[in-house]
Structures are given as structure tokens and as C-alpha cells.
Structure 1
């Protein structure tokens, strides 16, 4: 199963309309602006005097200067080149030398912050949720951004690793048969949870199994096909890791690893959380280490699926049902096709006229 123009999964020219990590909150102090390239689109992301992060298309509509070269003023941004100012909605509100600004506007994008990350919605309007750990949905959380990484394959391919049941045995030598049950939380989120207790022939599993009332806890939740949260650990103490990925040029991946836990009060709670987050990092590193080289050399092509690949096929189906956007333009797939056809039609008419 390889990428094609018709499929969204593993397609270097398409991504799902949704929330994506843009920059960490710490990287953007008040009154600062940063250049960000997100799924082929250049943006200027800035934090106004009010502390709110905002995103605007990077290039000034006057002569195309990059707005990240400019400066933040109030809740707006002023271009470095000719000092045109744009407000928080992207409207031009001031042009030096003119009594009245011209009626021009730069595209702005919806931004939100969670888990120490600035997220950006890639569509026109969002009524959808930011990625979160389902188990901690109603809790105030503490998060540490652990690592930045790149992979030599598509984010969709990196994501399926966590529900590749067979590789837990072949790569990680886990003496436990993993069988997943899926549940679609909404059109953009799906969970896969382990349903087995297993490990009858393993002394290790027999020992740790006493820490579980039922099955060994391992749950993966996917958001927009590119961000995933994994929950694992004994019944009395779960570890939570988020992998926030995004598509980069050439159908490759860059991502951030977030370690997340419920916020606990007081100095004892703070110290306890430090220990939990450290243990979470150790667990995450263990599972990531064995797969690193695979994602630098893989050419994903699922031609011979087996019963063990059932969850992967379910994830692919989930991805295909979501709205796809085109790399760079961020147009919906059907709009991009219409735009190309219109461009081709105009070119043909122009050639005929000549």
C-alpha cells in the first residue's frame, strides 16, 4: 500500500486538516515574532503585549518581505521593510506617509496553547478539539517537552508503529501478545487499547501481571493522523507520552515528544511529578530506541497484510475518512484539484489565442 494521488495516508502532498504543533511556548516570549514553516506554508508567529500567540501568513502583501523580520506592536505586527502594520485579524491598519491604510489583508490562522506547545489549526474554522490524553481530559496537567526528532518517512508511517502488534515481540522482545480494540472518539480521534492479559510462558509478565486487575494497560490515541498519545503502566500509576508530528518536505517527519502527568499540588506533589516524568522518559526511550533505524530506511508498502496488521488497516481507514489538505496551499483536496483544472484550462485558452 503505497502513496497515491487519491489516498491521504502516506501521501507526501496531503495532510489532514487539524491542529499541529508549530513552536514551543517557551520559544515565543511576549513581543517576539518567529518564522515557522508548517506543511509547506511560511508563517510569522508572534506573541502580543497581551500575551496571546497569533499566526499570520509570512509575506507582506506590499512587496513580499517576511513579517518575522518585523516587530510586534500591541496585538499586531509591523513589517520591517516599509513599516506597514497589520492587526490581530491581519488587516492593514497603518502605512507611513498615508492618511488612511489601504484595504489589504494578510491571512491569519487560529492558534491555541496546551502542554507547553503552540498549536495551529490549518483549516478556515475549527470546531474540533486540541489533541489531549483521554484519561486526563478533565485534569490540569504538567508537561515536559522531552525531545525533537526527525524521521525519514511520513508521519502516518511513524504513527502506526505504536499499534504494530507483532513488532512488540520481534523488535522489543516483549513476551506478551498484544490484541487491540479500537474506538473512534470523533471523526478526528481514534483509540486502540490492548485487550489481553497473556504472558503465561513469561516469568516477567507473571510478576508484573499482579499489578493489573485485567489486561496490561496500553492505549494509543491518534489525533488528525499525526499526533498520538500513549498511556501505559500498572493500574495504580499510568505514564502518558505524546508524540506531536508534522509532515515536512519530501514526505518526511519532524516531531516533538511530550511527557505528561496530572498536576499534583504542593512541594510533595511537585517532587512526585518529577519522578513520574523521569520514569515516563525512561519508558519512552526504551520503546523508541529499537525503532529508530527502521524509520530512517523504511519504504512503506503494505502489500501483504496479515491478521496481526488489523489495527494498522483500521487506522489507515480512519485517516482516509478525514478531510485532506494540500501541501503548501492548504486547500482542501477537492479545491486543489479544481484550482489545477482551472489553471490548465486558462493555459490552454491562452495557447489557442496565440
Structure 2
């Protein structure tokens, strides 16, 4: 697909990208693992849907829809009993699969089940899958796919724009020159790992007349290492650094009310054995934080005031166009309901057609 067709596609078919009522079916962060202790239950809201989350005695994390099916009491007011959750109001109890296993005033519980959601932990975060069955894995750094990792939490942040808009900043080739003063033309090569994951990697050398490039060139055999991998349009992993040591930063975002973004920064490195490995990793993670802070420093104010609309795309925006089209091809769900957005579009279209037919009659 050439740049002209990418621009046309992004302009004419944009239904999910930067849409405050839609998001991609996938894995989304809920809260740091350390913020949910064994036997603790909490209320959380993710992508407009109210949930209850708890950690059983077996340390497994469970996520349900928030309200008891009896009278609608919020289950976060209840308590964890072993690996089960008991509602505070009338003491109905549900097991880890959401099945009602005890109603104190009845000899046998009623045949009912809470809506449960697939939940997992990775990189020190709790994640929930927003669909029925996970089709693809939790977001990961491609370079560390088969590695056991150490990670550290960075800052949690709010941006006054959609997560998709925050995400494209990392592949906005022009801004590396205008904002970060990088004396190098960045050209990205894309590679779709699967329908929900896409990478953009720098392929260019150049900038040899720059003192900065001359300074770092001995550390790079080929192009300066900079790679971005996107998952579900809202989580991105940056890989940057000299050939002998790469730094890995994850920015994982989720949409909040009115299409704003709430995000969490994570710093990740390969696990190294022993006390010296632990010390080395501590240094690497600290350096990774410094790298992340540098990239975020010049951009923060933009996301508080931007009103994104790609009205005049140019060739330098090719990677952004490719990302937008990648997002548009993924399965979209509706805010709060987590129902298939495109199915609802068809239903809405059918209703409109029915009304038109009735009016014409």
C-alpha cells in the first residue's frame, strides 16, 4: 500500500482510531500487582466498565463484573474467603469461576454465575482481557519474548487526549527533529507480528556530520537502534540503546471518560542471575528510567492541549498512517458495554434502513 492509499484509507475509514466510544479488544492494565494483597478485594473501572478484583489465598487474581445479581450490591464491599468472594449485603458467595456456591437462607444456592474476565499478571501489572477468549498474548517486548524479565514501575499519568494519539508520538518521525533536536532523519520499517501487534523500527543511518552522531556511532554497527512495538493500539514498548545494551520501556494506556488516557510506565530488562545480576539489573532499570524521562520531557504539554485531526498528512507521516490503518482493522468494542462495536454499527444501520423504508412507505 503506497502513501496515497494509506492517507485515503486513514481519512475515509477512521471509525475506531481516536474514537472516545470505542477501543480494541485486547489486554489492558488494571493496577500494579503490589497494590492487591492476598485476601484483598477492590473496585476498579476499566474502559467504562465497573469491575471487582480480588486475590485469593492461592494468590490468583480474579475479576468479575462489579455488582451482585441479587440486589445489586457492589461486591468490593464484600470479603475474600479462601479463593471465593462473599457479598457484604446478603452474604451470597461466589467461587473463582463466578458460580454462586452459598446463599445463607437457602439450603441450595441458585444456579447463577457472575460474568468473569480473563486476568493475568506480567511485568508487575495485573491485566484483563476485554473479550471472551484471549486470541493473543499479553503485551511483551519482542526482543525479550523468550526471556524471564525484571521490571520496575515508572510514573502513572493522565493525558488530555485519546490513547491512540499518545501512542503515535513514538513513531512521529518529524518530531524527533523538531522537539528532540535529533540530527538524524528517522525512517521506519513496519512489521505486523499479528493482527493485534505491529512494530516500527528505524532503518536509516545518516547524520554523520553531527557531533552527537559521531559520538555514538562507535556503539552502533548499523542503524541507530530504535524500535516501537504496539499492542491493541494502546500499549507500546520502546527498545533503544547501543548494540551492547538495549533499554526497554513500556507505556500502557487505557481510555477514560471523554476519550482521555490514563497510563502507566514500566521499565523492563532481561533477568540476570545472582546478586551481581540483581545489582546490574538495578542499574540498568535506573538508566532505562532516565532514557524514558528524556523522551517524555519535551512532549508532555502537547497532550494536554492537542485536538488531533490528521487533515494534511505528508510523506513523513507514513508510519502514523500505517498505525491508524492497523488500528482500524482490529476488532472494536464499545465503551462501557464491551460489546462488538461493528455489530452494533450494523444493527444501527439496519434500524436506520428500517426507519427509512417505513418513512418511504
Shorter-chain-normalised TM-score: which range?
over 0.9
Distance 1:133 1:234 in 2: 17
In the comparison of the two structures, how many residue pairs are matched?
A: 347
Task: Identify if the C-alpha distance between structure 1 residues 58 and 4 changes in structure 2 by more than 3 Å, giving closer, same or farther.
Answer: farther
Alignment match, 2:47: 39
Alignment match, 2:156: 148
The answer on whether the counterparts of 1:25 and 1:113 sit within 8 Å (CA) in structure 2 is yes
The answer on whether the counterparts of 2:168 and 2:323 sit within 8 Å (CA) in structure 1 is yes
Q: Establish whether residue 28 from structure 1 lines up as the match of residue 36 from structure 2.
A: yes
SS of 1:123's equivalent in the other structure is: coil
Q: Establish whether residue 61 from structure 1 lines up as the match of residue 75 from structure 2.
A: no
Q: TM-score, normalised by structure 2?
A: 0.92
Matching residue within 144, 153, 173 for 2:181: 173
Matching residue within 299, 302, 321 for 1:294: 302
Matching residue within 106, 112, 117 for 2:125: 117
Distance 1:319 1:280 in 2: 28
Task: Identify if the C-alpha distance between structure 1 residues 99 and 4 changes in structure 2 by more than 3 Å, giving closer, same or farther.
Answer: farther
Alignment match, 1:234: 242
Alignment match, 2:84: 76
Alignment match, 1:285: 293
Alignment match, 1:351: none
Distance 1:185 1:195 in 2: 18
The answer on whether the counterparts of 1:197 and 1:209 sit within 8 Å (CA) in structure 2 is no
The answer on whether the counterparts of 1:159 and 1:226 sit within 8 Å (CA) in structure 2 is yes
Distance 1:99 1:342 in 2: 48
Q: TM-score, normalised by structure 1?
A: 0.94
The answer on whether the counterparts of 1:3 and 1:10 sit within 8 Å (CA) in structure 2 is no
**Cα RMSD (Å):** 2.0
- The residue correspondences of 1:1-354 to structure 2 (distance < 5 A) are 7-337=15-345
SS of 2:52's equivalent in the other structure is: strand
Distance 2:12 2:57 in 1: 45
Deviations 1:293-335 (A, max 9, x none): 0000000011100111000000001000100000000000133
Measured after TM superposition, the shift of residue 266 of structure 1 is 1.1
Distance 2:16 2:195 in 1: 15
SS of 1:139's equivalent in the other structure is: coil
Q: Which runs of 5+ in 2 are unaligned?
A: 1-6, 354-361
Measured after TM superposition, the shift of residue 200 of structure 1 is 2.0
Distance 2:346 2:99 in 1: 28
The answer on whether the counterparts of 2:14 and 2:328 sit within 8 Å (CA) in structure 1 is no
Task: Identify if the C-alpha distance between structure 1 residues 96 and 337 changes in structure 2 by more than 3 Å, giving closer, same or farther.
Answer: farther
Distance 1:298 1:267 in 2: 46
